[in-house]
Structure 1
Amino acid sequence: MVIRTLCRSLCLGLPLAASAQAASVVFLNPGLSDETFWVGYSRFMQAAADDLGMDLRVVYGERQAERQLEQARAVLQGEHKPDYLVLVNEQYVAPEIMRLSQGSGVKLLLVNNGLTEGQAEEIQAQPGKYAPLLGSLVGNDEQAGYQMLHDLVASLPRTGEPIELLAFSGISTTPASQLREQGMRRALAEFPHVRLRQLVYGGWSRQRAFEQAKLLLQRYPRVRLVWSANDQMAFGAMQAFESVGLVPGRDVLFSAVNSSPEALQARVDGRLSVLMGGHFSLGGWAMVMLHDDARGLAMDRDGQHLYRLPVLQAIDAAKAQRWLELSARKGYDVDFRRYSAEGRGTDYRYPFLTSPVDY
């Protein structure tokens, strides 16, 4: 078998590494299986897997913590374990999955939501209880939350009059949501004329944000700015404001996070005044790093374990139009192989770790 494989590689002119068994990855996607962001996230990961010759399987947790844990058990106790398990610390599930993984031989990578400070301390105090992490790839959520409010305020002319603000955060047990909220509050401290009337947790849901916004509008009819930690909550709030005759982008300015086609189109149309997006790409970059790890280029070769990528970037109308066109193409037309460290010098550093990729 080895001789036959060697002969096939030499005859086809393929590098020997390419003939090795494909690295297998399971992604425990915490989102809904019909949720625009998380489906797009998986799609980008799959494009990377296809480019890199990897085997990727995605299972959806449907935003249920217990379901995610059941899926993790099934993967880790199954007959055919993957080489890698990619997980998200949504609803604080990561430590329990790390505990379940101990001794399994499956390598773990966290994306999007890293461990909280308390979780990290607890794990460090009992290292034998938990499987180690290869690393964590998280976005610049705090900075995005900050920039979103900063740009939103800057979109209004300065009159010296107080400006009223409503904020829609995601889920209180999601680190990314907490960080975006922290960034928003950091920006708020720089604008004493902006008054945050209320922050509510919309659970990432359009319907819930719509219902919340209807009540908040009765309480605070003079609101001019709406900050939202994702696009679905922004659209739900927008619907409530439109129901009383207010025009988004004129009477009330809205901001959002995500680069769904609907959000991009709303930015083109001016209904969203500020949009931050690009964090759907984190899973794809994780696949590049896992591909290299499987080829012997260990992820921690630079001594790092926590990577904070500047994936969230401001999207103006022109960029939104360009991203709309690219979103219809597989993996945004990204050549993932050109980002791999394979065949490069020891000082090679992944470009997506330090700069946002300009699609």
Structure 2
Amino acid sequence: MLKVLITCMWLLGAAYGAMAHATSVVFLNPGMSTETFWVSYAQFMQAAAKDLGLDLRVRYSERDAHTTLAQAREALQGSSRPDYLVLVNEQYVAPQILRMAQGSGVKLMIVNNALTTDQVQLLGKDATWVGSLVANDEDAGYLMLTDLLRQHGQLAPGQSIDLLAFSGVKNTPAAQLREQGLHRALAEHPEVRLRQLVYGEWSRQRALEQAAQLFNRYPQTALVWSANDEMALGAMQALQEAGRVPGKDALFSAVNSPPEVLQARLDGRLTTLVAGHFTLGGWAMVLINDDAKGLDIGALGGRDRKEALFQLIDAAQARRLLQPMTPVDFRALSAVGKPASYRYPFSLQLLLR
């Protein structure tokens, strides 16, 4: 009996020890805790962390860079440091956090907005991170304008078409890359006249106010390009308040896939939708899991990765994304036990099955 009791106590202790030593992760979420995109982003991360046995804690900055830095300082210099810190280079905060992390023993993973070339050069070899994972933001910007033009239809010879563009926060790599994609498409289509590009700072209200003025200034606007969903919705509202019909009097594009935007895509008010990068945090959890288990994730496709996650969302896919999400087997995506030739199959298609 005593032997059985000792064995049970040993097993309980082993189980407790395994739980106590679960790899801990803190995610510095740059968005609002009420912002659909960043909440769904964190939920997908939590699903991945749970499946992989990671201990994930999410901290929202409420779109305040000073708060992000304070949260980073607490995580890196506090008494209970995580094993990994996941951050976004929103408003160029990454270099300061990388400097803070030196000597902390905490490993860093960068998602969504990687370091710029200038930042890498300025930091030098002293600042290190486990890896970075971003989406094909430049392609997203390009896809939106080219699809808007396809949906509009061919113009007569010599005819031009007016475009307004709403970008995000100016000092954010993702916004800059989406703008680059827009300008690449513009270079291929000289018939498109970009009347004005403004920075809506990812905000629906700000874009609404900007668009109200711009539609008055440029009444012939037929195409509206937006670097996220909230700004597109704000611009659409401004057009409606001006007595015009989104999807008919002007065609709109957007990035991201919350229910409100998916429904607008189905209703035809939103003509072009690009989505897929809300999955980045979940895929980052797979990389962290494998790094924590001793795998060299750099040998499995590179340390700094750009994944082709953005794709155009048609009506059928919008309808599918409005349904309950297909459970993802994150453990099956791990490279543990896979051959050296294995490459992570990160894709929105894993959720559209």
Instruction: State the TM bucket, normalised to the shorter chain.
Output: over 0.9
Residues 116, 5 of structure 1: alpha-carbon distance in 2 compared, 3 angstrom cutoff:
farther
Which shows bigger deviation, 100-109 or 154-163?
154-163
Residues 69-112 of structure 1: per-residue CA shift (max 9 Å, x gap): 11101111111110000000000000000000000000001000
Residues 5, 24 of structure 1: alpha-carbon distance in 2 compared, 3 angstrom cutoff:
farther
**Whole-angstrom CA distance in 1 between matches of 2:291 and 2:135:** 21
**Whole-angstrom CA distance in 2 between matches of 1:220 and 1:294:** 54
Alignment of 1:148-163 (within 5 A): 148-160=144-156, 161-163=159-161
Match in the other structure for 1:345: 339
TM-score between the two structures when normalised by the length of structure 2? 0.93
The amino acid that maps onto 2:209 is E
The amino acid that maps onto 1:274 is T
The amino acid that maps onto 1:53 is G
The answer to whether 1:225 aligns with 2:219 is no
Give the CA deviation at 1:350.
0.6
Match in the other structure for 1:23: 23
Give the CA deviation at 1:20.
8.2
The amino acid that maps onto 1:320 is A
Match in the other structure for 1:141: 137
Residues 104, 193 of structure 1: alpha-carbon distance in 2 compared, 3 angstrom cutoff:
same
Which shows bigger deviation, 102-111 or 261-270?
261-270
Residues 18, 314 of structure 1: alpha-carbon distance in 2 compared, 3 angstrom cutoff:
farther
Match in the other structure for 2:60: 60
Contact 2:232 2:252 (C-alpha < 8 Å) held by counterparts: yes
Contact 1:88 1:111 (C-alpha < 8 Å) held by counterparts: yes
Give the CA deviation at 1:298.
2.7
Give the CA deviation at 1:157.
2.0
Alignment of 1:106-121 (within 5 A): 106-121=106-121
**Whole-angstrom CA distance in 2 between matches of 1:106 and 1:44:** 23
Match in the other structure for 1:234: 232
Residues 309, 323 of structure 1: alpha-carbon distance in 2 compared, 3 angstrom cutoff:
same
Residues 201-249 of structure 1: per-residue CA shift (max 9 Å, x gap): 0000000000000110111001000000001000100011111221111
Residues 179-208 of structure 1: per-residue CA shift (max 9 Å, x gap): 001001100111111111000000000000
Give the CA deviation at 1:18.
7.3
Match in the other structure for 1:101: 101
Alignment of 1:162-241 (within 5 A): 162-241=160-239
Contact 1:313 1:356 (C-alpha < 8 Å) held by counterparts: no
Contact 2:328 2:350 (C-alpha < 8 Å) held by counterparts: no
Contact 2:300 2:342 (C-alpha < 8 Å) held by counterparts: no
Residues 346, 20 of structure 1: alpha-carbon distance in 2 compared, 3 angstrom cutoff:
farther
Residues 6-58 of structure 1: per-residue CA shift (max 9 Å, x gap): 9749x99xxxx977821100000111111111111000000001111110000
Match in the other structure for 1:311: 309
Residues 345, 18 of structure 1: alpha-carbon distance in 2 compared, 3 angstrom cutoff:
farther
Match in the other structure for 1:91: 91
Residues 36, 19 of structure 1: alpha-carbon distance in 2 compared, 3 angstrom cutoff:
closer
Give the CA deviation at 1:268.
1.1
Give the CA deviation at 1:358.
5.0
Residues 18, 268 of structure 1: alpha-carbon distance in 2 compared, 3 angstrom cutoff:
farther
The answer to whether 1:283 aligns with 2:294 is no
**Whole-angstrom CA distance in 2 between matches of 1:62 and 1:322:** 30
Indicate the percent of aligned positions where both proteins have the same amino acid.
59
How many residue pairs are counted as aligned between the two chains? 343
TM-score between the two structures when normalised by the length of structure 1? 0.91
For residue 347 of structure 1, give the secondary structure of its aligned residue in structure 2.
coil
RMSD across aligned positions (CA): 2.1
For residue 333 of structure 1, give the secondary structure of its aligned residue in structure 2.
coil
Give the CA deviation at 1:301.
2.9
The answer for unaligned runs of 5 or more in structure 2 is 1-5
**Whole-angstrom CA distance in 2 between matches of 1:345 and 1:95:** 35
For residue 189 of structure 1, give the secondary structure of its aligned residue in structure 2.
helix
Alignment equivalent of 2:321, drawn from 323, 327, 330: 323
Give the CA deviation at 1:159.
3.0
**Whole-angstrom CA distance in 1 between matches of 2:275 and 2:8:** 44
Residues 96, 6 of structure 1: alpha-carbon distance in 2 compared, 3 angstrom cutoff:
farther
Give the CA deviation at 1:321.
0.4
**Whole-angstrom CA distance in 2 between matches of 1:148 and 1:8:** 56
